[in-house]
Amino acid sequence: MKNKKFLLTTILMLALSMFLAACGGGNEEGGTDTDEKEKTDDAPKFMSILTGGTGGTYFPLGGAFANIVSDATGIDTNAETTGASAENMQSLKDGKGEIAFTQTDIASYATEGKLMFEGNAVENIQAIGTLYPETIQIVTTEKSGITSVEDLKGKKVSIGAPGSGTAANAEQILEIHGITLEDIQKQDLSFDESVNGIKDGNIDAAFVTAGTPTGAVEELSATETVVIVPVEAAKAEELIAKYPYYTKDEVPSGTYKLASAVPTVAVQAMLVVSSDLSEQVVYDITKSIFENLDQVTHAKAEQISADKALNGVGIDVHPGAQKYFDEQGITAE
């Protein structure tokens, strides 16, 4: 009888031990197999990186980033052509993408509900980080005779795709020079359409906000003598005083066969994500991009660095991206 009671007691204690072990965790740090499974399960199976037109800088960079993220995370990621910054913010709000390129000024407008986002604030975006200067290039050709911003009055000028960041930049730069959109024959064209319009003689000049060199403008320089209209220092300072997200910049000599550097202004390109993405997923995205820039062949990759990614962000950083920067000891300057 005693042996039977002892055996029964032993079985009960063994069963209790197994139960407690199952509940108590599978590793020394208190994590569990269930926790690890949940981290995996909250990752999407597919992600879209919203870029811009094929003639700009966002699209080729987006393609390279998509390949890097796919390889590093196992999440099928691709780059989509779009109308760029403002459209990308709206698309993230509508759940039509997970990652997007945008200008820092446009991201601020979106989260604050200003300008083109008035009454339509975007509340579900957070930053990964800034990437490189987005140079405002006022593009024309030697035969147009245009050499100053003031010369744009009365001319056919493309200010970029409707609702784009370029359109906002164009209006603000014209404003600083005492010009309104009514003073020009405004055209709302993408970069590729703008360049083709200049080639065909249908427009006189175009605003292009993109990293230099910009593919569409390089194509133009193959057949025409390209002129970049300067934004002189005094006007640049006036612009920055009113709109602090601008910085002074220049288009370097040799770009588009230019004989000398041309002064202008810039905003910054940045990557943003849907705030619905988990901390782990965004950490993996951030880490994969900034630690594999050697796989990006576009010239702009040389200007992208994790060390500078928190400078000028202007909106909240996603906790996953912040975790990566904290690990690297990176802070905003």
Q: Which pLDDT tens digit goes with each residue over 299-332?
A: 889 999 999 999 888 899 999 999 999 999 999 8
Pairing assessment for the beta strands 262-274 and 99-103 based on DSSP bridges: antiparallel
pLDDT in tens, 250-289: 999 999 999 999 999 999 999 999 999 999 999 999 999 9
Output the six-digit token pair for 280. Answer: 């782990």
Task: Output the six-digit token pair for 102.
Answer: 């945008």
Is the pTM higher than 0.85? The answer reads: no
Q: Where in the chain is the domain with CATH 3.40.190.10?
A: 47-131+270-328, 134-267
Distance separating alpha carbons of residues 90 and 226, to the nearest angstrom: 34
Q: Is the pLDDT of residue 4 over 60?
A: no
Q: What is the rounded CA–CA span in Å between residue 246 and residue 234?
A: 14
Which region among 2-6, 132-136, 321-325 has the lowest average model confidence (pLDDT)? 2-6
Q: What percent of the chain has pLDDT over 70?
A: 87
Q: Is the pLDDT of residue 7 over 70?
A: no
Question: Which option is the CATH number for 47-131+270-328: 3.40.50.970, 3.40.190.10, 3.30.1330.20, 3.40.50.300?
Answer: 3.40.190.10
Give me the DSSP letters along 38-99: HHHHTS-SEEEEE---TTSSHHHHHHHHHHHHHHHH--EEEEE--S-HHHHHHHHHTTS-SE
- pLDDT in the model for residue 185: 98
**pLDDT for position 270:** 95
Question: Backbone phi, then psi, for 102, in 5-degree steps?
Answer: -160, 170
At residue 296, the pLDDT reads 97
- Cβ neighbors of 67 (< 8 A, separation 6 or more) are 77, 295
Measure Cα distances from 52 to 27, 105, 172 in Å.
45, 16, 21
Coil vs helix vs strand at 37: helix
Fold of 134-267: D-Maltodextrin-Binding Protein; domain 2 (3.40.190)
Report whether the peptide linkage leading into residue 162 is cis, meaning its omega lies within 30 degrees of zero: no
Q: What is the pLDDT of residue 245?
A: 81
Mean pLDDT rounded to a whole number for the chain = 88
What integer is the mean pLDDT of 141-167?
93
Taking residues 155-175, report their average pLDDT. 91
The amino acid at 142? E
86 and 170 Cβ atoms separated by less than 8 Å: no
**CB-based burial label for 85 (10 Å; 0-12, 13-18, 19+):** buried
Q: Is the pLDDT of residue 111 over 90?
A: yes
